[in-house]
Amino acid sequence: MTSRSPSWLQVCISVLVSSAFRALSYQPCYYSEVKSILYLAYGSNLSAETFRGNRGIRPLSSVNVHVPCLTLTFDLAGIAYLEPCFANTAYRIPPPGQAPFPQDPKYRKNRWQKGLVGVLYEVTPSDYRTIIATEGGGSSYQDIVVPCFPLAAGLEKTPEEPESQPVLAHTLMCPRDGDRLVRPDPGYAQPSHRYLKLITDGAEEHGLPGDYMAYLSGIRGFTITMSRQKVGRALFLGMWLPWIVSVMGPGRLLADKEGRVPEWYARAMGLLFEVMWRSYDFGFKRFWGDGERTINGAGII
Protein backbone atom coordinates (compact mmCIF):
# COMPACT_ATOMS: atom_id res chain seq x y z
CA MET A 1 0.00 0.00 0.00
CA THR A 2 1.54 3.31 -1.06
CA SER A 3 1.20 6.66 0.68
CA ARG A 4 -0.96 7.84 -2.20
CA SER A 5 -3.68 5.29 -1.53
CA PRO A 6 -6.94 6.96 -0.44
CA SER A 7 -7.76 6.51 3.25
CA TRP A 8 -11.15 4.99 2.41
CA LEU A 9 -9.33 2.21 0.54
CA GLN A 10 -7.06 1.54 3.51
CA VAL A 11 -10.06 1.37 5.83
CA CYS A 12 -12.00 -0.90 3.47
CA ILE A 13 -9.09 -3.30 3.07
CA SER A 14 -8.50 -3.48 6.82
CA VAL A 15 -12.18 -4.26 7.35
CA LEU A 16 -12.36 -6.80 4.53
CA VAL A 17 -9.49 -8.84 5.99
CA SER A 18 -10.86 -8.72 9.53
CA SER A 19 -12.14 -11.81 11.33
CA ALA A 20 -15.60 -10.24 11.63
CA PHE A 21 -15.84 -9.90 7.86
CA ARG A 22 -14.72 -13.48 7.29
CA ALA A 23 -17.28 -14.72 9.83
CA LEU A 24 -20.11 -13.02 7.94
CA SER A 25 -18.89 -13.74 4.42
CA TYR A 26 -18.27 -17.46 4.68
CA GLN A 27 -21.33 -18.51 6.64
CA PRO A 28 -24.24 -18.10 4.20
CA CYS A 29 -26.71 -19.72 6.60
CA TYR A 30 -25.77 -17.61 9.62
CA TYR A 31 -28.64 -15.15 9.28
CA SER A 32 -31.22 -17.78 10.18
CA GLU A 33 -29.65 -17.82 13.65
CA VAL A 34 -29.67 -14.09 14.43
CA LYS A 35 -32.35 -11.61 15.45
CA SER A 36 -31.63 -8.99 12.78
CA ILE A 37 -29.53 -8.44 9.66
CA LEU A 38 -28.03 -5.26 8.23
CA TYR A 39 -28.94 -4.90 4.56
CA LEU A 40 -27.61 -2.19 2.24
CA ALA A 41 -30.11 -0.90 -0.35
CA TYR A 42 -29.05 1.23 -3.31
CA GLY A 43 -31.64 0.74 -6.08
CA SER A 44 -35.42 0.60 -6.07
CA ASN A 45 -35.37 -0.68 -2.47
CA LEU A 46 -34.56 2.88 -1.42
CA SER A 47 -38.21 3.63 -2.16
CA ALA A 48 -40.90 2.94 0.44
CA GLU A 49 -43.27 2.11 -2.42
CA THR A 50 -41.08 -0.85 -3.38
CA PHE A 51 -39.48 -1.88 -0.10
CA ARG A 52 -42.40 -1.49 2.27
CA GLY A 53 -45.25 -1.66 -0.21
CA ASN A 54 -44.50 -4.20 -2.93
CA ARG A 55 -42.08 -6.36 -0.92
CA GLY A 56 -43.82 -5.94 2.43
CA ILE A 57 -40.58 -5.34 4.36
CA ARG A 58 -40.82 -3.68 7.78
CA PRO A 59 -37.33 -2.45 8.68
CA LEU A 60 -36.46 -2.22 12.36
CA SER A 61 -34.25 0.82 11.74
CA SER A 62 -32.44 2.61 8.93
CA VAL A 63 -29.51 4.97 8.42
CA ASN A 64 -27.92 6.59 5.37
CA VAL A 65 -24.47 5.24 4.51
CA HIS A 66 -21.50 5.88 2.25
CA VAL A 67 -19.86 2.78 0.72
CA PRO A 68 -16.67 4.04 -0.97
CA CYS A 69 -15.43 0.60 -2.04
CA LEU A 70 -18.45 0.18 -4.35
CA THR A 71 -19.95 2.19 -7.20
CA LEU A 72 -23.48 2.29 -8.60
CA THR A 73 -23.98 0.72 -12.04
CA PHE A 74 -26.93 0.02 -14.31
CA ASP A 75 -25.56 -3.01 -16.12
CA LEU A 76 -28.03 -5.70 -15.03
CA ALA A 77 -29.98 -6.60 -18.18
CA GLY A 78 -33.75 -6.37 -17.88
CA ILE A 79 -36.36 -6.49 -20.65
CA ALA A 80 -35.80 -4.56 -23.89
CA TYR A 81 -38.31 -1.80 -24.70
CA LEU A 82 -39.78 -2.00 -21.17
CA GLU A 83 -37.12 -2.14 -18.42
CA PRO A 84 -33.81 -2.16 -20.31
CA CYS A 85 -31.63 -2.41 -17.21
CA PHE A 86 -31.64 -2.43 -13.43
CA ALA A 87 -29.32 -1.11 -10.74
CA ASN A 88 -26.28 -3.11 -9.74
CA THR A 89 -23.03 -2.34 -8.01
CA ALA A 90 -19.36 -3.05 -8.66
CA TYR A 91 -16.08 -2.76 -6.76
CA ARG A 92 -14.29 0.50 -7.53
CA ILE A 93 -10.99 -1.34 -7.16
CA PRO A 94 -11.71 -4.97 -8.04
CA PRO A 95 -10.37 -7.94 -6.06
CA PRO A 96 -7.36 -9.79 -7.54
CA GLY A 97 -8.29 -11.71 -10.67
CA GLN A 98 -11.28 -9.52 -11.55
CA ALA A 99 -11.28 -6.99 -14.37
CA PRO A 100 -12.20 -3.41 -13.41
CA PHE A 101 -15.70 -2.28 -14.25
CA PRO A 102 -15.61 -0.23 -17.49
CA GLN A 103 -16.56 3.36 -16.63
CA ASP A 104 -17.07 5.21 -19.92
CA PRO A 105 -17.44 8.92 -18.95
CA LYS A 106 -19.66 9.63 -21.95
CA TYR A 107 -22.51 8.00 -20.03
CA ARG A 108 -24.02 10.22 -17.35
CA LYS A 109 -24.55 7.28 -15.01
CA ASN A 110 -20.75 6.78 -14.85
CA ARG A 111 -19.82 10.31 -13.81
CA TRP A 112 -20.16 9.91 -10.04
CA GLN A 113 -16.74 9.38 -8.45
CA LYS A 114 -17.33 9.25 -4.69
CA GLY A 115 -18.55 5.69 -4.29
CA LEU A 116 -21.95 4.22 -3.56
CA VAL A 117 -24.46 6.01 -1.33
CA GLY A 118 -27.43 4.10 0.02
CA VAL A 119 -29.54 3.19 3.02
CA LEU A 120 -28.63 0.60 5.63
CA TYR A 121 -31.75 -1.20 6.83
CA GLU A 122 -31.92 -3.42 9.89
CA VAL A 123 -34.35 -6.21 9.03
CA THR A 124 -35.52 -9.50 10.51
CA PRO A 125 -34.24 -12.81 9.08
CA SER A 126 -37.73 -13.46 7.70
CA ASP A 127 -37.76 -10.13 5.87
CA TYR A 128 -34.23 -10.74 4.59
CA ARG A 129 -35.41 -14.02 3.10
CA THR A 130 -38.16 -12.06 1.33
CA ILE A 131 -35.59 -9.59 -0.02
CA ILE A 132 -33.48 -12.41 -1.45
CA ALA A 133 -36.52 -14.21 -2.89
CA THR A 134 -37.92 -11.08 -4.56
CA GLU A 135 -34.52 -10.13 -6.00
CA GLY A 136 -34.26 -13.29 -8.07
CA GLY A 137 -33.61 -15.81 -5.32
CA GLY A 138 -29.89 -15.81 -6.03
CA SER A 139 -30.34 -16.37 -9.77
CA SER A 140 -28.99 -12.91 -10.57
CA TYR A 141 -27.51 -11.16 -7.53
CA GLN A 142 -24.94 -12.54 -5.09
CA ASP A 143 -25.00 -11.81 -1.38
CA ILE A 144 -21.79 -9.97 -0.36
CA VAL A 145 -20.61 -8.18 2.78
CA VAL A 146 -19.16 -4.66 2.63
CA PRO A 147 -18.08 -1.93 5.08
CA CYS A 148 -20.57 0.96 5.23
CA PHE A 149 -19.94 4.37 6.81
CA PRO A 150 -23.02 6.03 8.39
CA LEU A 151 -24.02 9.48 7.14
CA ALA A 152 -26.29 12.11 8.62
CA ALA A 153 -29.49 12.78 6.68
CA GLY A 154 -29.77 15.98 4.66
CA LEU A 155 -26.09 16.57 3.91
CA GLU A 156 -25.32 18.95 1.07
CA LYS A 157 -22.30 16.97 -0.14
CA THR A 158 -21.03 13.42 0.19
CA PRO A 159 -17.70 13.33 2.08
CA GLU A 160 -14.64 12.60 -0.03
CA GLU A 161 -13.36 10.36 2.77
CA PRO A 162 -15.25 8.42 5.47
CA GLU A 163 -15.96 10.43 8.61
CA SER A 164 -17.46 7.66 10.76
CA GLN A 165 -16.70 4.12 11.91
CA PRO A 166 -17.60 1.37 9.42
CA VAL A 167 -20.42 -1.12 9.88
CA LEU A 168 -20.46 -4.46 8.06
CA ALA A 169 -23.61 -5.11 6.05
CA HIS A 170 -24.98 -7.44 3.42
CA THR A 171 -25.84 -6.20 -0.05
CA LEU A 172 -26.57 -7.71 -3.46
CA MET A 173 -24.13 -7.62 -6.37
CA CYS A 174 -24.18 -9.28 -9.76
CA PRO A 175 -20.54 -9.55 -10.91
CA ARG A 176 -19.69 -9.30 -14.59
CA ASP A 177 -17.41 -12.32 -14.43
CA GLY A 178 -20.15 -14.62 -13.14
CA ASP A 179 -22.54 -16.82 -15.09
CA ARG A 180 -25.07 -14.06 -15.73
CA LEU A 181 -26.03 -12.48 -19.02
CA VAL A 182 -23.67 -9.61 -19.86
CA ARG A 183 -24.51 -6.97 -22.46
CA PRO A 184 -21.68 -5.92 -24.84
CA ASP A 185 -21.50 -2.37 -23.46
CA PRO A 186 -22.37 -2.30 -19.73
CA GLY A 187 -23.07 1.44 -19.74
CA TYR A 188 -25.19 1.60 -22.89
CA ALA A 189 -28.68 0.75 -21.63
CA GLN A 190 -30.80 3.39 -19.91
CA PRO A 191 -33.12 2.50 -17.02
CA SER A 192 -36.81 3.19 -17.47
CA HIS A 193 -38.24 6.45 -16.14
CA ARG A 194 -40.43 4.39 -13.80
CA TYR A 195 -37.42 2.65 -12.30
CA LEU A 196 -35.37 5.85 -12.03
CA LYS A 197 -38.25 7.56 -10.21
CA LEU A 198 -38.30 4.83 -7.57
CA ILE A 199 -34.60 5.45 -6.91
CA THR A 200 -34.81 9.25 -6.86
CA ASP A 201 -37.98 9.20 -4.75
CA GLY A 202 -36.27 6.88 -2.28
CA ALA A 203 -33.18 9.08 -2.15
CA GLU A 204 -35.37 12.07 -1.35
CA GLU A 205 -37.39 10.17 1.26
CA HIS A 206 -34.22 9.30 3.17
CA GLY A 207 -32.47 12.64 2.69
CA LEU A 208 -29.42 11.30 0.87
CA PRO A 209 -26.68 13.90 0.19
CA GLY A 210 -27.66 16.66 -2.21
CA ASP A 211 -24.83 16.06 -4.66
CA TYR A 212 -25.74 12.36 -4.91
CA MET A 213 -29.40 13.19 -5.54
CA ALA A 214 -28.31 15.66 -8.23
CA TYR A 215 -26.28 12.87 -9.85
CA LEU A 216 -29.27 10.50 -9.78
CA SER A 217 -31.55 13.17 -11.23
CA GLY A 218 -29.11 13.70 -14.10
CA ILE A 219 -29.29 10.09 -15.29
CA ARG A 220 -31.34 9.88 -18.48
CA GLY A 221 -34.17 7.39 -18.71
CA PHE A 222 -35.16 5.30 -21.72
CA THR A 223 -37.85 6.83 -23.95
CA ILE A 224 -39.41 5.38 -27.09
CA THR A 225 -39.42 8.14 -29.74
CA MET A 226 -40.23 6.33 -33.00
CA SER A 227 -43.36 4.59 -34.25
CA ARG A 228 -41.49 1.47 -35.28
CA GLN A 229 -40.10 1.17 -31.76
CA LYS A 230 -43.67 1.12 -30.46
CA VAL A 231 -44.52 -1.68 -32.87
CA GLY A 232 -41.35 -3.53 -31.90
CA ARG A 233 -42.18 -3.14 -28.21
CA ALA A 234 -45.66 -4.59 -28.69
CA LEU A 235 -44.31 -7.55 -30.65
CA PHE A 236 -41.37 -8.16 -28.31
CA LEU A 237 -43.42 -8.00 -25.12
CA GLY A 238 -46.21 -10.04 -26.65
CA MET A 239 -43.69 -12.72 -27.51
CA TRP A 240 -41.64 -12.78 -24.29
CA LEU A 241 -43.70 -11.47 -21.36
CA PRO A 242 -45.89 -14.59 -21.12
CA TRP A 243 -42.75 -16.73 -20.88
CA ILE A 244 -41.16 -14.44 -18.29
CA VAL A 245 -44.29 -14.36 -16.13
CA SER A 246 -44.79 -18.12 -16.32
CA VAL A 247 -41.16 -18.89 -15.45
CA MET A 248 -40.66 -16.20 -12.79
CA GLY A 249 -44.03 -16.77 -11.14
CA PRO A 250 -43.11 -19.92 -9.17
CA GLY A 251 -39.81 -18.44 -7.96
CA ARG A 252 -40.92 -17.46 -4.46
CA LEU A 253 -42.68 -20.79 -3.98
CA LEU A 254 -39.54 -22.72 -4.92
CA ALA A 255 -37.23 -20.64 -2.73
CA ASP A 256 -35.66 -22.34 0.29
CA LYS A 257 -35.61 -21.02 3.86
CA GLU A 258 -32.95 -18.49 2.88
CA GLY A 259 -34.90 -17.21 -0.12
CA ARG A 260 -32.70 -18.93 -2.71
CA VAL A 261 -34.11 -20.80 -5.70
CA PRO A 262 -32.86 -24.23 -6.86
CA GLU A 263 -29.89 -24.31 -9.23
CA TRP A 264 -31.96 -25.78 -12.07
CA TYR A 265 -34.47 -22.96 -11.76
CA ALA A 266 -31.74 -20.31 -11.80
CA ARG A 267 -30.27 -21.88 -14.94
CA ALA A 268 -33.70 -21.94 -16.60
CA MET A 269 -34.13 -18.23 -15.84
CA GLY A 270 -30.68 -17.48 -17.23
CA LEU A 271 -31.38 -19.43 -20.41
CA LEU A 272 -34.71 -17.66 -20.93
CA PHE A 273 -33.13 -14.22 -20.70
CA GLU A 274 -30.19 -15.27 -22.88
CA VAL A 275 -32.51 -16.40 -25.68
CA MET A 276 -34.72 -13.34 -25.25
CA TRP A 277 -31.81 -10.92 -25.61
CA ARG A 278 -30.41 -12.81 -28.59
CA SER A 279 -33.76 -12.41 -30.34
CA TYR A 280 -33.52 -8.69 -29.61
CA ASP A 281 -29.92 -8.28 -30.80
CA PHE A 282 -30.26 -10.26 -34.03
CA GLY A 283 -33.86 -9.48 -34.89
CA PHE A 284 -35.93 -6.88 -33.10
CA LYS A 285 -33.25 -4.20 -32.78
CA ARG A 286 -32.39 -4.39 -36.49
CA PHE A 287 -35.98 -4.18 -37.70
CA TRP A 288 -37.79 -2.21 -35.00
CA GLY A 289 -35.14 0.04 -33.50
CA ASP A 290 -33.29 0.44 -30.22
CA GLY A 291 -34.95 -0.96 -27.10
CA GLU A 292 -32.24 0.05 -24.64
CA ARG A 293 -31.41 3.69 -25.30
CA THR A 294 -33.35 6.77 -26.39
CA ILE A 295 -33.16 7.79 -30.05
CA ASN A 296 -33.75 11.42 -30.99
CA GLY A 297 -33.70 13.21 -34.32
CA ALA A 298 -29.91 13.48 -34.26
CA GLY A 299 -29.38 9.83 -33.43
CA ILE A 300 -28.93 7.89 -30.24
CA ILE A 301 -28.45 9.92 -27.02
Q: Which residues pair with 91 in a beta bridge?
A: 70
Q: Please check whether residue 46 is in contact with residue 202, taking contact to mean a CB–CB distance below 8 angstroms.
A: yes
Active site (catalytic) residues: 135
Question: Residue 43 annotated as binding?
Answer: yes
Q: Please check whether residue 115 is in contact with residue 92, taking contact to mean a CB–CB distance below 8 angstroms.
A: yes
For the chain, how big is the Rg over CA atoms in Å?
19
What DSSP letter does each residue of 61-94 carry, written as one string?
Answer: EEEEEEETTEEEEEEEEEETTTEEEEEEEEESSP
Q: Counting Cβ atoms within 10 Å, is residue 146 exposed (0-12), middle (13-18) or buried (19+)?
A: buried
Give the angle 254-259-262 at the CA atoms, nearest 5°. 45
Q: Please check whether residue 83 is in contact with residue 195, taking contact to mean a CB–CB distance below 8 angstroms.
A: yes
Residue type present at position 221: G
Give the angle 161-162-167 at the CA atoms, nearest 5°. 155
Question: Residue 39 annotated as binding?
Answer: yes
Question: Residue 255 annotated as binding?
Answer: no
Nearest 10 degrees: Cα torsion 44, 49, 53, 59: 70
Question: Residue 40 annotated as binding?
Answer: yes
Question: Residue 44 annotated as binding?
Answer: yes
Q: Is the dihedral of CA 144, 149, 151, 157 positive or negative?
A: negative
Which is it for strands 61-67 and 142-151: parallel, antiparallel or unpaired? antiparallel
Question: Residue 99 annotated as binding?
Answer: no
Rounded to whole angstroms, the Cα distance separating 194 from 196 reads: 6
Give the residue ranges of the annotated binding site for substrate.
39-44, 195
Give the residue ranges of the annotated binding site.
39-44, 195
